[in-house]
Amino acid sequence: MLNEMFANSPIPVLEQLVNFAQARHGVLASNVANIDTPGYRTKDLSTDQFQAKLKAAIGERDSGGVGSLGGGPLVSGEQIASDPFAKVSDNMNNILYHDDSNVGLEQQVAAITKNHMQHNLALTILNSQFRLLQTAVSERA
């Protein structure tokens, strides 16, 4: 009964978003850590692939199938190397610098900030969902 209650709520979707933002933050932080490494190419997790996979899992869940939303994270630190969805892709959007690297501090800080805001938004909504469930369970409507 409890699994059904969670499965039909936005909680599993928010959980996947938090997991993705956490994994992406690690990759973006690695870019900043290697800012002075000659020849380093920035990396990022594909938000488009994540959104497509999340949409497919939601569609499968809504059609009555067993979606992968509650069955573990769609992306995690361990899955980055093994899961083709979570494959860290080269990001070719930056200018090459004199040391043949393409790490721009401003772009990386902007990406980290945007990712941080998405993470915090998902956590805020998740927190409100749990408060709603707590209110329903305690019958204090």
Contact partners, residue 62, CB within 8 Å, separation at least 6: none
Instruction: Categorize the per-residue pLDDT at 93 as very low, low, confident or very high, splitting at 50, 70 and 90.
Output: low
Task: State how far the Cα of 54 lies from the Cα of 95, in Å rounded to an integer.
Answer: 32
Residue 126 φ then ψ, to 5°: -60, -40
- Pick the range with the lowest mean pLDDT from 23-27, 30-34, 64-68: 64-68
Closest C-alpha to 87, from 24, 135, 134: 24
For the chain, percent of residues with pLDDT exceeding 90:
33
Task: State how far the Cα of 58 lies from the Cα of 64, in Å rounded to an integer.
Answer: 10
What's the burial of 2, exposed, middle or buried (CB within 10 Å: 0-12/13-18/19+)? exposed
**How far is CA 115 from its chain centroid?**
8
Please determine, for residue 84, whether its predicted confidence score (pLDDT) is greater than 50: no
For the chain, percent of residues with pLDDT exceeding 70:
68
Please determine, for residue 59, whether its predicted confidence score (pLDDT) is greater than 80: yes
Task: State how far the Cα of 62 lies from the Cα of 58, in Å rounded to an integer.
Answer: 6
Please determine, for residue 107, whether its predicted confidence score (pLDDT) is greater than 70: yes
Predicted pLDDT of residue 67:
55
Predicted pLDDT of residue 134:
87
Q: β-strand 43-44 against 89-90: which pairing, if any?
A: antiparallel
- Mean of pLDDT values over 33-38: 86
Predicted pLDDT of residue 124:
96
Instruction: Categorize the per-residue pLDDT at 8 as very low, low, confident or very high, splitting at 50, 70 and 90.
Output: confident
Helix, strand or coil, per DSSP, at residue 89: strand
pTM exceeding 0.75: no
